[in-house]
Amino acid sequence: MQAASNAIQNAMGAFPTDVHPGYKSRPDGATMKALAWFGARDVRLIDAPVPDITEPDDVIVKVTGTTVCGSDLHLYHGEIVNLQKGDILGHEFMGVVDKIGPNVTNLSIGQRVVASFQIACGECEYCKKKQSSFCDRTNPSSLQNAMYGHRDAGFFGYAHFTGGFAGGQAEFVRVPKGNVNLLPVPDNVPDEKALYLSDVLGSSQGLGPIGLCVAQFAKLKGASRVIGIDQVPERLKKAQELGVEPLDFSQHTDVVKRLQEIAPGGLDVAMDAGTFHQPKSLVHKVEKALMLETDVSEIVNEMLMSVKKGGRCGIIAAYAGYTNHFNIGALMEKGIRLIGNGQAPVHMWWKEILYDLIVPGKFDPTFMITHRVDIEEFPTLYDAFDKRVGGVEKVFVQTKFSNPPSSGCPPLSRVDEWTQ
């Protein structure tokens, strides 16, 4: 799949963009630790060149915190097209400003910042409305344009399908348009609370970190009842501790029937915060294995069946291509409003979440951090994260530049200590 998709992209050529994924390395030949993709379930820690200012709007960030996201598992399994061997992964990171391009005037060296996972130009129609993930000027992928009719913004560390930009699972990152895509972090907000502004807190059926954030935000916005669906015991327990009613689909395999029992008349709103790479039914397992579909419609169909007539369904989960057996009849006949939420427009929400919720203490994102490991652990971490062992959810990954763990946050550990 990768060879074919890369050949197609090369044949189609690139769309012109304001920024470009390639970067200069430092003249002194300095290297850094970084996690790179080499094939399905094959990620390796490599020594890569430290990036230097390449375009005048660049900022080089010295990483103090990064993580692995559920959507990274799609790359891990080779399910996103246009991956190339040696691609540096990771789209959630924060750190300290190390170098600044001549056009950047709003940041200073040594300043703490968090990066948005998307690369926005700050000037196009969408960026002016803070819809940063829809930026028209930073993703050169002709293949994505052919598949979707348009292109998303460029993303850090998420294949050449989203631009081919080197990612944040590294000790240094080049941030194009750094004056737009970096948010200064106040001194009284520790890294563990700021890091997840880069993606998860702006993204928010599964009860992983995003699903739990969705539940928390729903309650903050006045929802009187929230039901969370998963099968991982640690996730269900955490959800219950946060005031969410857990529904274990390993015990209730007919999710729709169970929801109709506990919520007669149907749900007002359903949100899919799950994933597309783990089909439940045999038919989808076969079709996915034979590459007859790229995505699975099961959770979306469960939402359509579970909401009341005139209900609303939203998709936060990362879908990338095509699916079979979609229940379009239920969508139409029940008058349901189904919306793809798009990749999180981080720029629209990160200041509000930081200053209205995190700083005053109304929302503490550290509830979802289960472990802290060193960057050297990344290859082992991906395997553990994929298998969901040791109660792993959101992991804070430190570099040699990180501060010690903040009060109340997990101490440094090794993956093999909690996967035995």
pTM of the entire predicted model:
0.89
Give the whole-number percent of the chain exceeding pLDDT 90.
81
Q: What is the pLDDT of residue 204?
A: 45
Q: What is the pLDDT of residue 165?
A: 98
- When pLDDT is averaged across residues 311-320 and rounded to a whole number, the result is 90
Q: What is the mean pLDDT of the chain?
A: 93
Q: Tens digits of per-residue pLDDT, 193-218?
A: 999 999 876 554 456 777 888 888 88
Between these two residues, 215 and 257, which has the higher pLDDT value?
A: 257
SS3 213: helix
Q: Tens digits of per-residue pLDDT, 359-372?
A: 999 989 998 999 99
Q: What is the pLDDT of residue 108?
A: 97
- When pLDDT is averaged across residues 136-141 and rounded to a whole number, the result is 96
Distances (CA, A) of 62 to 52, 215, 419: 11, 33, 30
Q: What crossing angle do the helices spanning 209-220 and 233-241 adopt, rounded to 10°?
A: 20
Q: Tens digits of per-residue pLDDT, 406-419?
A: 999 999 999 999 98
Rounded to the nearest 5°, which phi and psi values hold at 11?
-70, -35
- When pLDDT is averaged across residues 43-61 and rounded to a whole number, the result is 98
Cβ atoms of residues 109 and 217 within 8 Å: no
Q: Flag the least confident range among 54-58, 75-79, 161-165, 220-224.
A: 220-224
Give the whole-number percent of the chain exceeding pLDDT 70.
98
- When pLDDT is averaged across residues 220-231 and rounded to a whole number, the result is 90
pLDDT exceeds cutoff 80 at 275: no
Q: What is the DSSP string of 2-43?
A: HHHHHHHHHHH-PPP-SS-S--PBPTT--EEEEEEEEETTEE
Please give the Cα distance from 165 to 275 (Å, whole number): 23
149 confidence band (pLDDT: 50, 70, 90): very high
Please give the Cα distance from 76 to 72 (Å, whole number): 6
Please give the Cα distance from 80 to 141 (Å, whole number): 13
Q: What is the pLDDT of residue 207?
A: 67
pLDDT exceeds cutoff 60 at 63: yes
Which of 42, 39, 85, 94 minimizes the C-alpha distance to 64? 94
Cβ atoms of residues 183 and 94 within 8 Å: no
